[in-house]
Chains A and B, each alone.
Chain A
Amino acid sequence: MPVNVLLPNAFQKHTNGTREIKLEAKNLPELIAGLEANFPELKQHLRDGDGKVRRFINFYVNDEDIRFLGEDKYAFKDGDEVLVIPSIAGGCC
């Protein structure tokens, strides 16, 4: 399933300035693997010492936080747009 992925500025140092990429991915783990395959340098930054994706990185599918859609279990649909935002800004008190 081709998925359009929008990358944040914070990633661009590790993606040679790429802001947007189309990836074949059925679900989130495949999408992350696809990102790492395209941008090998990103991998060490994307994951913590235990190999887990860092907790401050958020993935949104269209308008929804992927955690509300089942996270890893969510199956991407044709035309899905995935937005990656690290450490989303915190609001009030």
Chain B
Amino acid sequence: MASSYELRCRECGKRFDIQPLSICDDCFSPLEVVFDLPAIKSKFTREAIAQGPWNMWRYRALLPVPDSYIPVTPSGMTPLMAAPRLAKRIGAKNLYLKNDAVCLPTLSFKDRVVSVALAAAQGFGFDTVGCSSTGNLANAVAAQAARLGLKTCILVPADLEPAKILNTQIYGATLVRIDGNYDHCNRLCSQIADRFNWGFVNVNLRPYYAEGSKTFGFEIAEQLGWRLPDNVVVPMAGGSLITKIRKAFQELIDLGLVEPKTVRFFGAQATGCSPIVQAVKKGGEHIEPQRPQTIARSLAIGNPADGPYAARAIRESGGWAEDVSDVEIVSAIRELAETEGVFTETAGGVTTAVTARLYAHGRISPDDLTVVAITGNGLKTLDALDGKFEQLPAIRPRLADFEEAYLDRIQPGRAPAQPAAPAVEGAYAR
């Protein structure tokens, strides 16, 4: 390899120089970035990483971006939070959240992949970038393209959540609304990419884009003190993230940054769009496409490109996959917010609900160290919670009204206070 990385076909192994290309011209299978790990070993050490910025670019030696690229957006390095209250609810003892609901700049893990894709796009000289998206990716491309001064062409299903549409348009992006679902957007996107010399992050830039997901895994390991968890629970749409976290862990093992360990991977989908889960449950890798029907729009990809690889990663790791209903998704969004103070979008509801089920079914042992991937922010899918909260009548600004209407809700069983008695020293006036 002239560079420290190259493109390689995931099926036939054919090698390609670095270029904006995602499909093998021999077998039409997807291409992947492969790093020359021995050449990187001296650069990618715990010490070198510790010297880097407190964001995903601290791992740039294992990201496929030009050497000359100067990062402009500090994405990544989101909190890895212990989740003891959620753990108690679901029968876990050692549970963590990797919280990309607060990833910069657009509050989803997509900021990571777009950071890498647009760095590559600049290196290839594209002046226009785009994507097909279920929303989060659109937001991320729009924001980071604005920061890099690139033109945009972003395709989304017309019925996308209003917040995700607004959160794309605010950055001045050209938003192309498609009368169809995500798979329709994707198809048109492939045709546009074939016709015009633009950089589409999830088409011709896909191999570069996908590598950005590895930073989610690198961070988990570093934040755990350079060790790997026992299990990771990951939401699946196209199926890329779960395979890239696994790749990240393997690269860390190969480079000697963590002790070798078999981490089990668990995939989460909504029942209304669960082609990868169905493949896992049937024990294979064959993906039967579905027509998505779920509130978890960011996971609603009926024909997941990385589905076979995701199913394989889960199976090889000794993990499992589950799907949950829309009702369970909403309950889980609330449960995560109420127990851990993290407000996630529908995809995070899927992951949380699936995690609870995995513990309930004994797929994960209570003592295991398990990390749950929270990939997006609840403020973007407020419509999923429409009508879920009762609004009490407004009260007059009087203490008696407050005690009458609210006290029992705040502290159930507590009677309204008597007129205050004089304080007694040594006692607590209640």
Contact = CB atoms under 8 A, between A and B. Distances in A.
Contact of B236 (A10, A87, A93): A93
B240 A90 contact: yes
Nearest to A64: B184
Nearest to B28: A86
B161 to A, nearest CB: 14
Contact of A87 (B26, B184, B305): B305
A46 B28 CA distance: 8
Given A85-B190, A90-B304, A93-B234, A54 B28 contact: yes
B107 to A, nearest CB: 14
Given A68-B291, A93-B234, A93-B238, A87 B180 contact: no
Given A54-B28, A88-B190, A93-B109, A65 B183 contact: yes
Query: Which secondary structure dominates where chain A touches chain B?
Result: mixed
B265 interface: no
Contact of B237 (A45, A56, A93): A93
B192 to A, nearest CB: 11
A86 B375 contact: no
B323 to A, nearest CB: 15
Contacts, number: 119
B187 A60 contact: yes
Nearest to A7: B194
Given A89-B203, A89-B206, A90-B301, A56 B134 contact: no
A8 B305 contact: no
A87 B27 CA distance: 10
- What size tier do the contact residues of chain B reach? 35 or more
B370 interface: no
A84 B27 CA distance: 14
Contact of B132 (A54, A57, A89): A89
B299 A8 contact: no
B189 interface: yes
Contact of A88 (B180, B186, B194, B242): B186
A89 B189 CA distance: 8
Find the residue from A6, A8, A13 having the highest chain B CB count within 10 A: A8
A1 B299 CA distance: 38
A54 B10 CA distance: 13
A70 interface: no
Contacts of B241: 92-93
Contact of B194 (A8, A68, A93): A8
B13 to A, nearest CB: 14
Find the residue from B28, B202, B206, B240 having the highest chain A CB count within 10 A: B28
B312 interface: no
Interface string A29-68: 0000000000000000110100000111110100101011
A18 interface: no
